[in-house]
Structure 1
C-alpha cells in the first residue's frame, strides 16, 4: 500500500467526504484524487518522469497538497522549500538537489528568473497565483528568460489526463528530500522513502486514533516534515478533513474553532503561547478539540499547565526529527500523560539512550537519544560520509541529550551541541529557560552559551516580558532564587521579540550571532 493507492481507495468508497477546507472553500476526496492525477499527468507531458526531482516553494494551500501527492503518484521526488528563504538558500537547494521542475508562488518567479542561469538542470517552472482570477490572464512576457519553461498551475492541471498510467512505486523509492538546517555548513538533504513516510503517517494515525470524523487544523508550514506527516499524510490515510490555514493567527484559529469544530490541533510552543495570551480567545471556541499536540521544541511545563487549565484540553507533547519522517515518540492517548516528557516510543519505532560508546545507559541517566524503525531515512543525498556518521548499525543518532524513566517515558534534556559547560559543569539551556517561563511576567525565553576565558562558557539569556517596567536587575535577582550559582546567566537581555524559524521554533543561534555583532561594535 502507498499514498496513491490509498487515495484511490478513499475516493472510490468515500469520494463525497470533505478532504480539505481552505479559505472557507471545500473539496472532496474524489475531487482531490482527480486533481492529483491531473497534476501527475500534466507533469509527465512536460517531460518529468519517475525519479525526477520536483521542488515546492509554496505556502499552505490546496496546491501544495495536490503537488505533493501528484508527485508521489508520478513517482517523482519532492523537495519542499521554505518560500521565504533567500535567493542564495533556494539556489543552493535547487542546484544541490538536482531539481528538474519547480512549483512556486508567482511572487517568487522574478527571484527564480535571476538565478535560473545558475540552475541549468531546472527545465520547468509552474507558478501558483493566490488570486485565481488573474492567474491565466497575466502575460508571461515579464519573465522573458523563462517564457518557454513557465506555465500556470491551473493550465498544468487542465492539460492532465485522468487515464494517466501510473508507474510502479516501490517502498524504497525516495519520496521526499528534506533539507535540514544544520548548526554549521550547508543544509543536508535527508532522503525519506515512500515506506518511511507511509509507515510513520500510519503509525501516528493509529496511535492518535485518527478517524474520518476528525478535523485537523493544519497551520504548521506544509514544507516542514512535522506538518507533512502529522497534519497532512496521517489525516489523509484516516480519511479525515484537513482545515488548511495559510498563516498562523490566533484570531483565525479561534474563528475556525467556532465554525468548523476541529478535533485536533498540532502546533509548536510559540503558537500555544500566543493562543494562551490572546485576549479575545474564547475557550468555548476550542471545546470541540479532543487533544492538542506540541512538537518542534520543548514546551515549558508552566505554559502547558496554564493552557490546559484555560482551554480544558490536553496537550500531548511529542518528539521527532526530519531524518525520522519525523515522529518517534509522544505521550499516549490511552495511558498516563507526563508533563515535560516527550512520551513513549510510537508503534513500530524503538528509542533508547546511549553513552559515547553507543552503550545503553541505566534508567534516569542522560545520554544521546537514538532511534530505529521503518521511519528512519535512507540517508543524506550525495553525502555518504554524513550518512555513516548519522546511522550506525541501523540506529539513527539524533544529537539530542535525553533520559528515560522507569515507565519508558523519554525526556529531552537539550541538544547535544547546545549544552553549555561552565567550569566543568553541564548546564542545559532548557532547564534555565524553564525557570524564566515560571516567572509571571515573562512571555518567552531563550538561553545559550558563549565563550568565557575563565569558565570555558558563560550562560546568556534573552527574554520577552509583558511588563515594560521590569528590569534586568530584577530578573537577575529572580534567577538567583531558583538556579545554582554555576547555572546563573551572566547576561540577561530584554527584547521585544525572539527570532523564530518558519515553524515558530526559537532560533538560539540567531541570538548568539546578534550578541557577537553587538560586542564587536
Structure 2
C-alpha cells in the first residue's frame, strides 16, 4: 500500500506515438501495447498453480518443486508473517539470499501477505545492510544462514526503535536432495560445502522449516494493482541507495512483456542464474516464468561447468544473462561435451556483447544474442532487440508502450538520428518515484509534450531505424561485469576506515570485468608509511559487497580540488584513462 508521505510520482501513461522509426521494424507477431490484468502479482502464481499443479516450477540441483508446492509453501509463509511476525498490509520485508527455491517462495509469500518485498544484494555486508533495515523501516528479514550473522550484526548497531523484530533463516540445503545429488546435478565441491553449511543462528532467529510447519492460513489477499509490491534499491551520484517504488502494475508490465518478447510459454525451461535480487533476474528468472508456467532451473552462483551441465541435462530453452557469463562458458575446456542445441532464446544486458563472441554464437550454435536495456527504475527492460532482427552492441528498440527519446540534456529538445544526447523513457513500467525522497523524484522526471519522462542519465544515440545505442554516462557510475557501482557510496564507506583522510573512486579498465573500481586515497598523517594499499583493499573487501570494493588502491598526498573545494574526480579519471589506454 503506497502511503501519501512517499511523494509518489503519478502519471497517466499515454500510448507511444505511432510514427516512431522503430515501428517499421516492430515484430508483426506482437502488439505494440499490452493490456494488463487488474490483478496482483500473487494472482499469477494462484492461476498458474491451478492450471499446472504438478508441473515443475523449479529444479534445484535435481530436486523438483511443483507449482502447487510453491503456492502451498508461499501461503504457509504468508500465514507465519501475519500471525507470528505481525506483518500488515504495506509493511516492508527484507529478502536477503542468493537464488534458491526459498527465494521464490518467500517473494510470493510476502506478496500473499499484502506486504512489500525489499530485495537486498546478498553480497552486501553488515555495514551496508544497516541502511536496508532503517530506511524502509523493515521489522522482518528473511535471509540465508550464511548471511544471518551480517543481518544480526547490522541490526545490533542500530538504535532500538529502528531494529528488526524478526529474523527468519533458511539453509540452501533445505531445498536440496537430502541424500545427495546425482553427479549430473551436483554442485562443485566448494559450492556444495557452502550450500550445506549450517552455521549457528543468531539469538532469537526462527528457522524456515519451523515457520512453514506452523501451517497458519493467511488472511484474505487484498493487494490491488496500484499498491506497492517491491522496493528495490538503487544507488546514485550522491548519498545512500534509494528505494524505487514499484507497484504490482509496473512490475506486471515487463513480467508479461518479457515472456511475449522472447517466445516463452509453459513448455519453456529457463536457466535462472542472474541474481533475483537484481531487477533483471527478478523479472526473467522469477515473475515471467511464474506468469507463463515455465520451469526454472536455478543456480545460486555462477559456475560455467555447472551451467553447461544443467543446460544440457534439462534442455534449457531460455537464458537471460550477462555477456561475461557466455564468454566464460565458451572458454570452458569441456565445451565439446555440452549440448546447447535446446537453447532458443539468449538475451541479456548490463554490458555490451563483444562482436567476436556474438559471431561465434551465431556461426557455431545458430544463436542470436538479443541485448536489452533497462534500469531498476524501469523494472528491467525499456528497450530490447527484436529476436527476429537484433543488432550487435545495441540497446534495441523501445518495447511495448514505451516512448523513448534522445534529447539535449540541457535544453531537453529532441535530437535527430545519429546525434548524442540523454536517453529519456516514458512507459507503463516506469517506477512511481523514490521512497520518501520527493527531491530526488522531482529531479528524475521531466515533462515533454504533456508526458512525464524518466531521465536515465545515460547518453546515447538513435539510428535511422529507431534502434538505440549507448555511448556514455551523464551519471558518475562504474560498470563492473554488469553490476553498477556508484563511487559516492564506495567513498562514503571508505571514509569509515580509521586511517583514511580522503578518498576518490574512479574506474580502471579490467580485461574480464570491463571496468573495475580504483580508489585514490589520502591517508591520515599518522598512517602514512604504516598502512599499505593491500591493507586498505582487504578492509574494503570485508566491509563491502564483492563487486563494489576497490581492486586497486593508489595513495596520494592530496586530491585535486576546485575553487569551491569539490574533488575534481574527472581529472583523476582522465589521468587513469590515459595511463591504461593502449599505445
The equivalent residue for 2:311 is: 257
The equivalent residue for 2:212 is: 157
Which runs of 5 or more structure 1 residues have no equivalent in the other structure?
420-428, 434-442, 450-458, 466-498
Do the aligned residues in 1 keep the contact of 2:97 with 2:147 (CA within 8 Å)? no
Q: CA offsets per residue over residues 181-239 of structure 1, 9 Å max, x none?
A: 32432111111111111111111111212100100000011111110012211111111
2:241 is the alignment partner of 1:182: no
SS at match of 1:160: coil
How far apart in 2 are the matches of 1:461 and 1:81? 26
- Measured after TM superposition, the shift of residue 464 of structure 1 is 3.1
How far apart in 2 are the matches of 1:158 and 1:16? 21
TM-score (norm 1): 0.78
The equivalent residue for 1:342 is: 395
How far apart in 2 are the matches of 1:313 and 1:283? 18
- Measured after TM superposition, the shift of residue 338 of structure 1 is 1.1
Partner residue of 1:315 out of 369, 386, 402: 369
How far apart in 2 are the matches of 1:244 and 1:460? 32
How far apart in 2 are the matches of 1:406 and 1:515? 44
Do the aligned residues in 2 keep the contact of 1:319 with 1:342 (CA within 8 Å)? yes
Do the aligned residues in 2 keep the contact of 1:254 with 1:282 (CA within 8 Å)? no
Q: CA offsets per residue over residues 97-132 of structure 1, 9 Å max, x none?
A: 211100011222233333323163411110011233
From the superposition, tell whether residues 506 and 121 of structure 1 become closer, same or farther in structure 2 (CA, over 3 Å). Answer: closer
The equivalent residue for 1:352 is: 405
1:429-468 superposed matches below 5 A: 462-464=509-511
Q: CA offsets per residue over residues 289-316 of structure 1, 9 Å max, x none?
A: 0021121222222332233333331110
Q: CA offsets per residue over residues 223-272 of structure 1, 9 Å max, x none?
A: 11110012211111111001111111110111011110000111112112
- Measured after TM superposition, the shift of residue 386 of structure 1 is 0.3
TM-score (norm 2): 0.70
How far apart in 2 are the matches of 1:93 and 1:45? 24
The equivalent residue for 1:125 is: 167
How far apart in 2 are the matches of 1:463 and 1:100? 40
Partner residue of 2:283 out of 203, 218, 229: 229
How far apart in 2 are the matches of 1:190 and 1:203? 20
SS at match of 2:88: coil
SS at match of 2:424: strand
The equivalent residue for 1:397 is: 455
How far apart in 1 are the matches of 2:219 and 2:507? 58
SS at match of 1:329: strand
From the superposition, tell whether residues 259 and 518 of structure 1 become closer, same or farther in structure 2 (CA, over 3 Å). Answer: farther
Partner residue of 2:134 out of 95, 108, 112: 95
- Per chain length, whose mean CA-contact separation is higher, i.e. which structure has more relative contact order (CA < 8 Å, sep 6+)? 2
Q: CA offsets per residue over residues 419-468 of structure 1, 9 Å max, x none?
A: 9xxxxxxxxx99xx9xxxxxxxxx99x9xx9xxxxxxxxx9863438xxx
How far apart in 2 are the matches of 1:310 and 1:461? 33
Which runs of 5 or more structure 2 residues have no equivalent in the other structure?
1-38, 180-194, 488-505, 513-539, 560-583
2:99 is the alignment partner of 1:40: no
Superposed CA RMSD in Å reads 3.1
How far apart in 1 are the matches of 2:420 and 2:547? 24
The equivalent residue for 1:4 is: 42
The equivalent residue for 1:74 is: 113
SS at match of 1:282: helix
Do the aligned residues in 1 keep the contact of 2:145 with 2:199 (CA within 8 Å)? no
The equivalent residue for 2:249 is: 195
Q: CA offsets per residue over residues 57-116 of structure 1, 9 Å max, x none?
A: 111100000011111111111111112212110011211121110001122223333332
SS at match of 2:232: strand
- Measured after TM superposition, the shift of residue 283 of structure 1 is 7.4
How far apart in 2 are the matches of 1:181 and 1:330? 23
How far apart in 1 are the matches of 2:418 and 2:557? 40
2:117 is the alignment partner of 1:59: no
2:185 is the alignment partner of 1:143: no
Q: CA offsets per residue over residues 458-501 of structure 1, 9 Å max, x none?
A: x9863438xxxxxxxxxxxxxxxxxxxxxxxxxxxxxxxxx99x
How far apart in 2 are the matches of 1:297 and 1:166? 43
SS at match of 1:99: coil
SS at match of 2:511: strand
Do the aligned residues in 2 keep the contact of 1:283 with 1:311 (CA within 8 Å)? no
- Measured after TM superposition, the shift of residue 373 of structure 1 is 1.1
